[in-house]
Amino acid sequence: MDSLDQPLGGAEFAPKKTYLNTSACGLLPRRTVEAVTLLAEETADGRPGGAGDFDLVDEARAAFGRIAGVAPERVAVGSSVAVHCGMIAQSLPAGSEVLFPRATSPPSSPPSRSGATSRSASRPWSGSPSPSARDRARRLLGRAVGGRAYGRLRGDPGGGGRPRRAHLLDATQSAGWLPLRAGEWDYTVAGGYKYLLCPRGASFLTVTEEAQDSLLAIHAGWVTGEELWVNSYGPVRELARSARRFDEPAAFLSYYGAARSLALLEEIGIERIEAHDKGLAARFRSGLLALGHAPVMDDSTVVAVPGLGDRADALREAGVLLSDRAGNLRASFHLYNTAADVDRVLELLAD
């Protein structure tokens, strides 16, 4: 295991404060800032290719696919998780039921227009979606829907009048520090601006080949055609055969940055990042217990401390940035943090 005294990523990061708030927004690597700045300057000067190239979008798509453990053909790009979930919700047929963990917000508006309903159940897991957590989640969903559809999508692929159950995983708070096997879920979504260290405006959707047939390509346009440049005028001749058919038109500035951020994560390795982040979180939990506080005990890089949320403002004034969430003080550690960051916040909490 790498020393917790040193950050991962070296000179890519130089925060001016103790930043323990990646669950709200990740820090941009230096290379990412440089890529976005260069494209902006080139565009201002009159770039021959216009505002950017699709090759860089595909570079980001492929990098996320490798991080998520799926082929790039299974990855769609967009601007936000809400957009991805909205497309899935719009694809639900009338009579479908969406079951979601109580700690999340359902995509209620689109399903209601199609006659779908939504309801919550006790949260299947807290923190990372481990294999055992996935099994618990699926058992919970199976019990809660009582034989009806959870995210049932068009048709009856199983035959015999049985509805199809589809599973959607939001990996926004785990992709980038926890190994992801997206192919085990019908759909995964991941906002890029947290642990993936991408600029806002970069978000990823994975779709299994089976689930692809159940989605409506509501953003379809010339950029989602199988042949990219033959659809500039008139109707799209043929949608992409891959998950690219579900792309939103990419914001080039965001994806130029995303390609560089994801490359950095690959260079370091998600397993190394996981060990580093969890090591810092464990150090923080141990220090909190020694101070008489009771953090949520979980195997995650995110640490919640019930009842201490009101300390967030004072910590911010002292140069430590973290979050107050529903009365919980929430610290979230990532590759640019060190043991000194942990000790700094513990020192302040001891006062």
Cβ pair 305, 315 in contact under 8 A:
no
**Residue-range domain boundaries for the chain:** 10-28+269-350, 53-266
Collect contacts of 70-74 with beta carbons under 8 A, ≥24 apart: 70/182, 70/183, 70/206, 72/242, 73/242, 73/243, 73/244, 74/182, 74/183, 74/206, 74/207, 74/208, 74/209, 74/242, 74/243
Spatial neighbors of 160 by CB under 8 A, at least 6 apart, are none
Question: 164: closest CA among 235, 213, 109?
Answer: 213
First and final C-alpha spacing in the chain: 32
Pick from 28-42, 91-105, 286-300: least confident = 91-105
Task: Say whether domain 53-266 belongs to CATH 3.40.640.10.
Answer: yes
- Calculate what percentage of the chain has a pLDDT beyond 70: 81
Q: Please state which CATH number belongs to domain 10-28+269-350.
A: 3.90.1150.10
Instruction: Report the alpha-carbon distance of residue 51 to residue 42 in Å, rounded.
Output: 8
Alpha helices per DSSP H over 164-237: 209-212
Cβ pair 119, 138 in contact under 8 A:
no
Question: 74: closest CA among 190, 204, 195?
Answer: 204
Instruction: Report the alpha-carbon distance of residue 220 to residue 216 in Å, rounded.
Output: 9
* Cβ burial, residue 33 (10 Å; 0-12/13-18/19+): middle
pLDDT averaged over every residue in the chain:
85
Instruction: Give the model's pLDDT for residue 12.
Output: 97
Cβ pair 320, 20 in contact under 8 A:
yes
* Confidence band of 128 (pLDDT split at 50, 70, 90): very low
Higher pLDDT, 1 or 238: 238
Model confidence pLDDT, tens digit, residues 76-118: 999 999 999 999 988 887 777 777 766 555 554 444 445 566 6
pTM of the model: 0.86
3-class DSSP assignment, residue 140: helix
Residue where the block lists tokens 């068009």: 154
Instruction: Report the alpha-carbon distance of residue 322 to residue 171 in Å, rounded.
Output: 20
